[in-house]
Chains A and B, each alone.
Chain A
Amino acid sequence: MGKVLMKGNEVIAEAAVHAGCKYFFGYPITPQSELVAYMARRLPEVGGLFLQAESEVAAINMVYGAAGTGVRVMTSSSSPGFSLKQEGISYLVGAELPALIVNVVRGGPGLGNIQPAQSDYFQVTKGGGHGDYHTPVLAPSTLQEIIELTEAAFDIADRYRTPVILLGDGMLGQMMEPVEFKNLTERQPGEKDWTTTGTRGDGKPRIITSLELNADALEKRNEKLQHKFALIKQNEVRYETYEIEDADYIVTAYGTAARIAMNAINNARADGLKIGMIRPITLWPFPEQPFIETRDKVKGYISVEMSAGQMVEDVRLAVNGKAPVTFFGRTGGVVPTQEEIYEYIMKVAGGVEV
Chain B
Amino acid sequence: MKTVFEKTTGLTDTQTHYCPGCTHGIIHRMVGEVLEEMGILEDTVGVASVGCSVLSYEYFNCDMTQAAHGRAPAVATGIKRVLPDRFVFTYQGDGDLASIGIAEAVHAAARGENITVIFVNNAIYGMTGGQMAPTTLIGQKTATSPFGRNASLQGLPIRVSEMLSTLDGTAYIERVSTHDVPNILKAKKAIRKAFETQKQGFGFSMVEVLSSCPTNWGLDPHESLDWIKDNMVPAYPLGIYKNVHKEAEK
Task: List the interface of chain A (C-beta within 8 A of B).
Answer: 23, 25, 49, 51, 53-55, 57-59, 61-69, 71, 73, 87-88, 91, 95, 196-201, 205-211
Expressed in whole angstroms, the Cα–Cα distance for A328 and B122 within the complex equals 58
Q: B42 near A64 (CB under 8 angstroms)? A: no
A-facing residues in B70-95 (Cβ within 8 Å): 71, 74-83, 86-87
* Chain B neighbourhood of A210, CB < 8 A: 66
A61 and B42: CB pair below 8 A? no
Q: In the assembled complex, which residues on chain B have CB atoms less than 8 Å from the CB atom of A61? A: 67-68, 71, 74-75, 78, 104
Q: What is B's interface to A at a CB cutoff of 8 Å?
A: 12, 41-45, 47-48, 54-55, 57-58, 60-68, 71, 74-83, 86-87, 103-104, 106-107
Beta-carbon contact of A207 and B58 below 8 Å: yes
B168 to chain A, nearest CB (A): 16
By CB atoms of chain B within 10 A, which of A65, A68, A87, A200 has the most? A65
Q: Which residues of A contact B64 (CB under 8 A)?
A: 196, 205-209
Q: List the B residue with the shortest CB-CB distance to A95.
A: B66
Taking each of B75, B76, B106, which has the highest tally of chain A beta carbons within 10 Å of its own beta carbon? Answer: B75
A-B contact pairs, 25 of them (CB 8 A): A23-B78, A51-B77, A54-B103, A54-B104, A57-B71, A58-B74, A58-B103, A59-B74, A61-B68, A62-B77, A65-B77, A65-B78, A65-B79, A66-B78, A66-B81, A197-B83, A198-B83, A198-B87, A199-B62, A200-B43, A205-B12, A205-B61, A208-B65, A209-B57, A209-B64
What is the bound-complex CA distance between A23 and B45, given in angstroms?
19
Chain B residues lying within 8 Å of A25, measured Cβ to Cβ, are 78
The verdict on A209 contacting B107 (CB below 8 Å), with A65-B74, A69-B82, A196-B45 known, is no
A65-B74, A209-B57 given as contacts; is B103 within 8 A of A55 (CB)? yes
What is the bound-complex CA distance between A261 and B74, given in angstroms?
Answer: 43
Docked complex Cα distance between A62 and B55 (Å) = 21
With A199-B42, A200-B42 as known contacts, state yes or no: A69 contacts B58, CB within 8 Å: no
Task: Please pick, from B62, B68, B77, the residue contacting A198 in the complex, using a CB distance under 8 A.
Answer: B62
Contact B71 A23, beta carbon cutoff 8 Å = no
A-chain residues with CB within 8 Å of residue B47 when the two chains form the complex = 65
Of B55, B64, B107, chain A has the most CB atoms within 10 Å of the CB of B64
Which residue on A lies nearest to B12, using beta carbons?
Answer: A205
Is the CB–CB distance between A206 and B68 below 8 Å?
no
Contacts of B82 on A, CB cut-off 8 Å? 23, 49, 65-66, 69, 71, 73
Whole-angstrom distance from the CB of B147 to the nearest CB of chain A? 33
Say whether B78 contacts A198, CB under 8 Å.
Answer: no
In the bound assembly, the distance between CA atoms of A23 and B48 in angstroms comes to 23
**Chain A residue with minimal CB distance to B58?**
A207
Q: Name A213's closest neighbour in chain B (CB-CB).
A: B55
In the bound complex, residues from chain B placing their C-beta under 8 Å from that of A51 are: 77, 81
Provide the bound-state CA to CA distance between A208 and B44, in Å: 14
The 4 lowest CB-CB distance pairs between A and B, nearest first, are A65-B78, A61-B74, A209-B66, A62-B78
* New A-B contacts (14) at CB < 8 Å, excluding given A49-B81, A64-B78, A209-B57: A23-B78, A61-B78, A61-B104, A65-B77, A68-B45, A71-B82, A73-B78, A196-B64, A198-B63, A198-B83, A205-B60, A205-B64, A207-B63, A209-B66
Residues from chain B with a CB closer than 8 A to the CB of A64 are 65, 67-68, 71, 74-75, 78
B58 CB contacts on chain A under 8 angstroms:
207
Choose from B12, B43, B54, B75 the contact partner of A65 (Cβ within 8 Å): B75
**A62: B residues at CB distance < 8 A:** 74-75, 77-78, 81
Say whether, besides A61-B68, A205-B64, A210-B66, A198 and B74 are in contact (CB < 8 Å).
no
**Distance in angstroms between the alpha carbons of A170 and B48 in the assembled complex:** 38
A59 to B108: give the CA distance in the assembly, Å.
12
A residues in contact with B55, CB < 8 Å: 211
Chain A contacts of B65 at CB under 8 A?
A: 64-65, 68, 196, 207-209
Closest to B71 in A: A61
Which residues of chain B have C-beta atoms less than 8 A from A206's C-beta? 63-64
The smallest C-beta distance from A88 to any residue of chain B, in angstroms, reads 7
- Minimal beta-carbon separation of A98 from chain B (angstroms): 13
CA distance A58 to B102 in the complex (A): 11
Residues of A within 8 A of B42 (CB): 198-201
A54 to chain B, nearest CB (A): 4
In the bound complex, CA of A53 to CA of B107 (Å): 8
Nearest A residue to B65 by beta-carbon distance?
A: A208
Q: In the complex, what distance in Å separates the CA atom of A208 from the CA atom of B43?
A: 16
Candidate in B48, B62, B83, B87 with the most chain A CB atoms within 10 angstroms: B83
Collect the chain B residues with CB atoms within 8 Å of residue A95's CB.
66
How near does chain A come to B81, taking the closest CB pair, in angstroms?
A: 5
Residues of A within 8 A of B43 (CB): 198, 200
With a cutoff of 8 Å between Cβ atoms, the chain A residues found around residue B75 in the complex are: 61-62, 64-65, 68
* Contacting residues, chain B, for A208 (C-beta < 8 A): 64-66
Decide if B103 touches A68 in the complex (CB within 8 Å).
Answer: no
